[in-house]
């Protein structure tokens, strides 16, 4: 029993960090959905592309130009965010503008197609080799009793909380956030009221791409870098639904819950109950179904009331 609690505490901390990555991807789902009511199934691949672009810039700054570890990380992050802004503009031009008046199903299929294309293009350019991005923190850890917490994990948790808080304030306390909500509710009415609907759509795609890039930058040193990173989007999607699809705080709540559940199931539960190993890949979906059976709109989701 004395050995069980330190192990659980270690897994919970690791699960919270993993859940914060899920939360950042889920936040990207939420941003697009709140403005367009479309689910962007390419969000995981946007994270993967951002991680590869960041690795490319780190290689330039660290190896070619001889900058230190931290300067290279900061410069590469800034350059990657700049790339994500341009990429977000391109996605708005390539996906949203041609399909914004088409059925939602067409937009969803377009995002799935983009996900497949991005995975193939990155595999073609980068090859099948798994890369090892350097962590700006190295292997440093902080010890709290018998629990060792990676400095990288603490940085991931802090970054996720800050980002979610910033976007929550933007969408609920600023004119731009109100404009985005009005656009999602009725684009035609929003346009008639003077809201620049096209600009709102473009900015949403930009912000979703930036969030995905930051998630990829944080995740890559933790799990290594390969073209299959994008599949994490399939795990982040139930996190968004669990927290309440369209709820920004719900993204981090759902992400953390699923991250902790997944980590504990792969660790302590799998050790004591060997059959758990067989359902590790679907454990998050089982948790999602159980929660939705009790609360169909998710933990922090709001029920929509239709007036007749």
Burial of residue 131 (number of CB atoms within 10 Å: 0-12, 13-18, 19+): middle
- 23, 25, 26, 27 alpha-carbon torsion, rounded to 10°: 90
Which pLDDT tens digits describe the chain residue by residue (308 residues)? Answer: 455 566 677 888 888 988 898 888 888 888 888 777 788 889 999 999 999 999 999 888 877 777 777 888 888 999 999 999 999 999 999 888 888 778 878 888 899 999 999 999 999 988 878 888 877 777 778 887 777 788 888 888 898 888 888 888 888 888 888 888 788 777 888 888 888 888 888 988 998 999 999 989 988 888 788 888 888 877 788 888 888 887 888 888 888 888 888 888 887 777 677 777 677 777 878 888 888 888 888 888 776 655 44
Domain segments of the chain as ranges: 4-229
Quote the pLDDT of residue 304: 61
Q: Do residues 38 and 108 touch, judged by C-beta distance below 8 A? A: yes
Res 34: pLDDT:
77
Residue 3 confidence (pLDDT) = 57
Task: Note the pLDDT of residue 2.
Answer: 52
- CB–CB of 67/61 below 8 Å? yes
Kindly state the DSSP code that residue 130 receives in the 8-state scheme: P
Nearest alpha carbon to residue 137 among 63, 59, 76, 222: 222
Q: Measuring CA to CA, which residue among 75, 27, 61 is closest to residue 47?
A: 27
Which run of H or E residues covers position 201?
helix 197-223
224 phi and psi angles, rounded to 5 deg: 75, 170
């Amino acid at each position: 029993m004395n050995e069980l609690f330190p192990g659980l505490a270690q897994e919970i901390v690791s699960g919270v960090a993993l859940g914060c990555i899920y939360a950042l991807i889920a936040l990207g789902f939420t941003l697009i959905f709140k403005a367009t009511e479309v689910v962007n199934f390419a969000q995981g691949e946007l994270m993967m592309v951002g991680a590869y672009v960041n690795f490319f810039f780190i290689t330039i700054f660290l190896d070619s130009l001889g900058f230190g570890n931290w300067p290279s990380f900061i410069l590469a992050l800034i350059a990657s965010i700049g790339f994500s802004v341009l990429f977000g503009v391109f996605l708005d031009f390539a996906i949203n503008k041609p399909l914004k008046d088409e059925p939602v199903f067409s937009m969803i299929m377009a995002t799935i197609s983009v996900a497949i294309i991005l995975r193939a293009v990155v595999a073609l350019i980068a090859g099948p080799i798994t890369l090892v991005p350097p962590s700006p923190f190295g292997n440093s850890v902080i010890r709290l009793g018998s629990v060792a917490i990676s400095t990288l994990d603490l940085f991931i948790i802090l970054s996720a909380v800050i980002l979610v808080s910033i976007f929550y304030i933007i969408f609920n306390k600023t004119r731009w956030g109100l404009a985005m909500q009005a656009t999602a509710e009725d684009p035609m009415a929003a346009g008639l009221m003077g809201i620049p609907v096209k600009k709102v759509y473009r900015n949403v795609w930009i912000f979703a791409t930036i969030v995905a890039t930051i998630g990829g930058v944080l995740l890559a040193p933790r799990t290594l870098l390969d073209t299959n990173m994008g599949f994490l989007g399939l795990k982040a999607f139930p996190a968004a639904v669990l927290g309440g699809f369209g709820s920004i705080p719900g993204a981090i709540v759902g992400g953390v819950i699923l991250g902790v559940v997944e980590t504990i199931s792969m660790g302590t539960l799998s050790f004591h109950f060997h059959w758990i190993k067989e359902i590790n890949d679907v454990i998050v979906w089982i948790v999602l179904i159980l929660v939705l059976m009790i609360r169909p709109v998710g933990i922090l989701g709001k029920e929509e009331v239709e007036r007749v």
